[in-house]
Chains A and B, each alone.
Chain A
Amino acid sequence: MPPFFAAALALGTAWASPSYPAVLQDTAGMSCTPSCIVCHATAAGGAGTASQPFVGALFARGLVGGGADETLVSALGQLDADAVDTDGDGQTDLDALAAGADPNGGADLCGAGALTGPTYGCLQAAPSPTAPVLALGALLLTLTRRRRPLSARR
Chain B
Amino acid sequence: MMASAALFTVALFSLGGPAYAYPWMIAHDYTGCAQCHVDPSGAGLLTDYGRALGMQLLPTGGGEASGETPGPEKDFLRGAIDLPSWLLMQADVRSLGYPMPTTDAAGDITGWSGRFILMQSDLRSGFKAGDFVGAASLGVVSDGASAAWISSSDSGWNLVAREYWAGWRPSKALLVRAGRMNLPFGVRTEEHTQYVRAITRTSTNADQQGGVAVAVQRKGLRAEILGIAGNPQVSPDAFRERGYAGFASWAPKKNIEVGLSSLITTAEADIGTLAPRTRQAHGPFVRWSPLDGVAVLAEADLLRSADDGLTSTGAASLAEVDWELINGVHVRGIGQHCDTDLGDAEAGVATAWLAGQWFIVPRVDLRVDVLHGTLQCAPGLDPSWYALGQLHFYL
In the bound assembly, the distance between CA atoms of A83 and B91 in angstroms comes to 51
Q: Which residue of B lies closest to A143 (CB)?
A: B81
Given that A9-B11, A16-B156 are known contacts, is A117 also in contact with B101, CB under 8 Å in the complex?
no
In the bound assembly, the distance between CA atoms of A6 and B205 in angstroms comes to 19
In the bound assembly, the distance between CA atoms of A37 and B380 in angstroms comes to 17
User: Interface readout for B133-158 with A: 1 if CB under 8 Å, 0 if not?
Assistant: 00000111111111101111111111
Q: Number of A residues whose C-beta is below 8 Å from B? A: 68
Q: Which residues from B are CB-within-8-Å of A9?
A: 11, 193, 375, 386, 388
Q: Number of B residues whose C-beta is below 8 Å from A? A: 85
Is there contact, CB below 8 Å, between A62 and B274? no
Q: Which residue of B lies closest to A41 (CB)?
A: B378
Q: Which residues from B are CB-within-8-Å of A47?
A: 375-376
B258 part of interface (Cβ distance < 8 Å): no
In the bound assembly, the distance between CA atoms of A10 and B355 in angstroms comes to 12
A122 part of interface (Cβ distance < 8 Å): yes
- Point out the residue from A11, A14, A136, A143 that lies within 8 Å of B140, measured CB to CB: A136
Q: Which residue of B lies closest to A7 (CB)?
A: B9
User: Interface readout for A9-23 with B: 1 if CB under 8 Å, 0 if not?
Assistant: 111111110110110
User: Interface readout for B1-35 with A: 1 if CB under 8 Å, 0 if not?
Assistant: 00111110111001010000000000000000000
In the bound assembly, the distance between CA atoms of A125 and B265 in angstroms comes to 30
A78 part of interface (Cβ distance < 8 Å): yes
Q: Which residues from B are CB-within-8-Å of A146?
A: 81
In the bound assembly, the distance between CA atoms of A37 and B270 in angstroms comes to 13
A123 to chain B: closest CB distance in Å?
Answer: 5
B234 part of interface (Cβ distance < 8 Å): yes
Q: From DSSP, what is the main secondary structure of chain B's interface residues?
A: loop
Is there contact, CB below 8 Å, between B154 and A11? no
B326 part of interface (Cβ distance < 8 Å): no
Q: Which residues from B are CB-within-8-Å of A143?
A: 81, 89
B320 part of interface (Cβ distance < 8 Å): no
A88 part of interface (Cβ distance < 8 Å): no
Is there contact, CB below 8 Å, between A2 and B7? yes
Q: Which residues from A are CB-within-8-Å of B106?
A: 1
Is there contact, CB below 8 Å, between B119 and A12? yes
Q: Which residues from A are CB-within-8-Å of B117?
A: 10, 13
- Point out the residue from A10, A121, A139 that lies within 8 Å of B151, measured CB to CB: A121
B291 to chain A: closest CB distance in Å?
Answer: 25
User: Interface readout for B371-395 with A: 1 if CB under 8 Å, 0 if not?
Assistant: 0001110101110101110100000
Q: Which residue of B lies closest to A153 (CB)?
A: B82
User: Interface readout for A119-154 with B: 1 if CB under 8 Å, 0 if not?
Assistant: 111111111110011011001100110111000010
B36 to chain A: closest CB distance in Å?
Answer: 19
B273 part of interface (Cβ distance < 8 Å): yes
- Max chain A C-beta neighbours (<10 A), residue from B120, B151, B234, B382: B151
- Point out the residue from A48, A78, A144 that lies within 8 Å of B77, measured CB to CB: A144
Binds A, one of B55-63, B92-100, B247-255, B311-319: B92-100
B294 part of interface (Cβ distance < 8 Å): no
Those of A35-54 within 8 Å (CB) of chain B: 35, 37, 41-44, 46-49, 51
Given that A13-B119, A126-B153, A146-B81 are known contacts, is A60 also in contact with B107, CB under 8 Å in the complex?
yes
In the bound assembly, the distance between CA atoms of A146 and B81 in angstroms comes to 7
- Point out the residue from A1, A6, A10 that lies within 8 Å of B3, measured CB to CB: A1
Is there contact, CB below 8 Å, between B153 and A14? no
Q: Which residues from B are CB-within-8-Å of A4?
A: 7, 381-382, 384
Those of B185-223 within 8 Å (CB) of chain A: 190-193, 205
In the bound assembly, the distance between CA atoms of A120 and B155 in angstroms comes to 13
Is there contact, CB below 8 Å, between A48 and B100? no
Is there contact, CB below 8 Å, between B239 and A13? no
In the bound assembly, the distance between CA atoms of A59 and B382 in angstroms comes to 15
Is there contact, CB below 8 Å, between B143 and A43? no
Given that A2-B6, A7-B100, A41-B378 are known contacts, is A121 also in contact with B388, CB under 8 Å in the complex?
no
- Max chain A C-beta neighbours (<10 A), residue from B140, B153, B157: B153
Q: Which residues from B are CB-within-8-Å of A12?
A: 14, 16, 94, 96, 119-120, 190, 192, 205
Q: Which residue of B lies closest to A116 (CB)?
A: B274
Q: Which residues from B are CB-within-8-Å of A13?
A: 96, 117, 119-120, 141, 143-145, 192, 205
B349 to chain A: closest CB distance in Å?
Answer: 9
A and B contact pairs by CB, cutoff 8 A, 21 listed: A2-B384, A5-B7, A6-B375, A8-B388, A9-B375, A13-B144, A14-B192, A16-B144, A18-B146, A18-B155, A21-B154, A43-B274, A47-B375, A51-B380, A60-B105, A62-B102, A68-B115, A120-B149, A140-B91, A146-B81, A153-B82
5 A-B pairs closest in CB distance: A126-B151, A121-B152, A129-B157, A8-B11, A48-B376
Query: Can you name 18 extra interface pairs (CB under 8 A) apart from A4-B382, A133-B140?
Result: A2-B6, A7-B7, A11-B191, A11-B193, A11-B367, A12-B96, A12-B120, A13-B205, A14-B144, A18-B155, A19-B154, A43-B271, A71-B102, A116-B274, A120-B146, A122-B235, A129-B157, A136-B123
